Amino acid sequence: MNAICAAGLVPLHAKLTLKMDDLYPPQFSLYHGAKRLTMSARDLSRDRLECIFKVEPDSLYLEDDITRETFFPDHSGQFQTTLMRDRGSFAVSGTSKEQVLTPVAGPSTPLSCRPKGTPAFTHPSNTFQNPLRRAKSARKQIYVADIEDSGKISPYTTVHVTISEGQGVQAVGQTVQEYLNSADSYSICDAKGLAIADTSETKDLEFWKTSSRKVYAIRTADLAKLKMGRVESASKKKRVDPEENEVLDGLLDVELEIKNSASKLAENIDEKFNELTISVNHIKANVLQVVQQIDGLAEVKEKVSQVSKSLSIASSLRDALACRICTNIPNSVLVITACCGQVAGCGTCIQTYLNDNDSCLLCKANMFAGKLVFLRGLSEVLAKLTNAVI
């Protein structure tokens, strides 16, 4: 095989692939505006698309509806179809030839612009019609799905369908079938696999514009199998043995007891919760009272501190003014020494001291009698100080 490849010959499996592609080329669903068609990979070229969809060749490209990938033609006008999804839906994008205006000489002006191939401009009649007016339509994403053996809906691709006003569900299914280029017919269903019927509601565009509503396209044959499976399942549920009925009745009784117990438990929980709430409120009130008492104790502590400071000052004054002989606060006369400037004591004790001594009892200086100062008129102050200290 390597020798064949080296000699430039095509391998057998490559030849088979080429023959299969020739027999069954990839198919692509193309659309531009209201025009739609299915085209094979062999026929897909820029020139063909230009002629069919009337799009300027220099601006023409394809856009995948699902992946949003864009594909441009090469210099020869061909597309790389091997990179495009087989049976995928692609939008033909570009500048329409009807939108390109070319300068054409008109009768009313030397030079006027109008679309190529159209007659000169004439004033419209009294009933004006908007040339850009189009029929109402809605673009809806439809999930193409298979039905698994378990009955579950399994989407495998999506298509974007343009639905015109008044178009029925059956027509939407036919459009999906054309997009997929399939011989099987498709039914439009909801998320539960139930077919959507043609009604006045489904023919209204508001039904298809609802973004939260998921719409599925399922093969009609698979949908019929799903219906048969549901019917058989329902019939099996109806054919229940008596023993199974007894078991089911017992389970229902147990379920009822559980519900009753749960209801009673909920009532008990509510009662306990109310009691707990009342207790918490009492605790909060007690805590508030304690806080208030603490604040009162703080004020008392501050007052005690002030009184303690006052007593300390009074005690210091008592120690400073007390008699050095009898250690009492003088009643009326306070004697101060001039030699050392200190309080010697009360007049009675100092007079007794001078009878036997002539030196200062504090600093021992001589001539003590001549260096004394007698302060009178302090009896009221000294009496208050004595009472404060006591």
Residue ending a domain, among 236, 255, 276, is: 236
d(CA 267, CA 290): 35
Domain coverage including residue 176: 137-236
How many angstroms from the chain centroid is the CA of residue 307?
A: 64
pLDDT digits (tens, 9 = 90+) for 238-285: 555 566 667 777 888 888 889 888 888 988 898 899 889 999 998 999
For residue 369, being part of any structural domain is answered with yes
Inside any domain, residue 14: no
The number of folded domains in the chain is 4
Question: Which residue intervals of the chain are DSSP H helices?
Answer: 2-6, 12-23, 46-53, 169-180, 205-209, 220-238, 242-321, 347-356, 379-389
345 and 330 part of one domain:
yes
Token pair of 8, please? 């430039």
Mean pLDDT of the region 127-142: 63
**122's torsion region: left (phi>0), alpha (psi -120 to 50) or beta?**
beta
Same domain, 148 and 224: yes
Of 236, 266, 282, which one is at a domain's C-terminal end?
Answer: 236
The terminus-to-terminus CA distance of the chain in angstroms comes to 128
**CATH number of the domain to which 328 belongs:** 3.30.40.10
Show which of 206, 236, 266 is a domain's final residue: 236
Q: Are residues 50 and 76 in the same domain?
A: yes
Query: What was the pLDDT predicted at 379?
Result: 64
With a cut of 50, say whether residue 105 has pLDDT above it.
no
For residue 249, tell me if it sits in a domain: yes
Rounded mean pLDDT, 299-307: 80
Same domain, 338 and 306: no
27 and 84: one domain? yes
**Average pLDDT score, the chain:** 78
What pLDDT is stored for residue 386 in this prediction? 66
- Report the pLDDT averaged over residues 371-376: 78
Same domain, 370 and 332: yes
283 and 254 within one domain: yes
Question: What's the Cα-to-Cα distance from 86 to each of 61, 70, 180, 181, 186, rounded to whole Å?
Answer: 17, 15, 9, 10, 19
Residue 126 lies in a domain: no
Is residue 48 pLDDT above 60, yes or no?
A: yes
Q: Please check whether residue 15 lies inside any domain of the structure.
A: no
Domain-located, residue 130 = no
**Pairwise CA distance, residues 219 & 224, whole Å:** 9
Q: Please report the sign of the dihedral spanned by the C-alpha atoms of residue 59, residue 65, residue 71, residue 77.
A: negative
Rounded mean pLDDT, 163-188: 89
> Is 129 inside any structural domain?
no
Instruction: Name the residue among 79, 87, 85 with its Cα closest to residue 42.
Output: 79
6 in a domain, yes or no? no
- Tell me the average pLDDT across 194-212: 87
341 and 289 share a domain? no
- Convert the pLDDT of each residue in 315-370 to its tens digit: 787 777 788 888 888 877 888 888 888 888 888 888 888 888 888 878 888 767 77
231 with 248, same domain: the answer is no
Question: Same structural domain for residues 206 and 143?
Answer: yes
Q: Are residues 227 and 259 in the same domain?
A: no
Element housing 42 (H / E): none
Q: What is the CATH number of the domain that holds 199?
A: 3.10.20.90
For residue 366, give every residue at least 6 positions away whose Cβ sits within 8 Å of its Cβ, in sequence order, or none.
358, 359
| 30 has a pLDDT exceeding 90 | yes
For residues 163 and 227, state if they share a domain: yes
Residue with the two structure tokens 């539960």:
192
Q: Residue 125 above 60 pLDDT?
A: no
